[in-house]
Amino acid sequence: MGQDEPTTGGPKSGVSLKEWVGMKLDNFDGSSTPVQAADWLSFVEDKMEAFEVLAQDRVRYGTQLLKGEAQIWWKGVQSTRTATHGPLFWVEFVRQFERRFYLATFLDKMKLDLNNY
């Protein structure tokens, strides 16, 4: 089975992993501000929706855009997570990403702002 094929014989994402990487979407290297990290994550999620990336493919596709410090962080998360809990799903990736690249005060402010709408 090729690297850009889904892990099951079921439905396929709107784009292959090879096409996704070939789009040269913005990378994230972990050296950004919390606002830039949130903006990057929102951008990636929007692209995943637009290109119909399936839920089971999102972590694999999204992590292809990590570089530098962010990629090193991801490899650490991946090795500890898969050894104890199995594969990581997108919602958990987002939670781990926010915990690592957003300041706690930034998360609190975002939650407060959302509650005020």
Does the pLDDT value for residue 81 go beyond 60?
yes
Q: Is the residue at 12 inside a domain?
A: no
The answer to the question of residue 89 being in a domain is yes
For residue 64 the two structure tokens come to 């292809």
- What pLDDT, on the 0 to 100 scale, is given for residue 8? 53
Q: Is residue 63 part of a domain?
A: yes
Residue 2: inside a domain: no
Dist. CA 32–CA 58, nearest whole Å: 22
Q: What is the mean pLDDT of the chain?
A: 84
Query: H-helix or E-strand containing 111?
Result: helix 104-115
pTM given for the model: 0.76
Q: Has residue 109 been placed in a domain? A: yes
pLDDT over 90 (residue 27)? yes
In degrees, to the nearest 5, what angle opens at C-alpha 8 toward C-alphas 7 and 13?
Answer: 75
Domain of 78 in residue numbering reads as 17-115
Domain membership of residue 80 (yes or no) is yes
Higher model confidence: residue 58 or residue 80?
58
Number of domains in the chain: 1
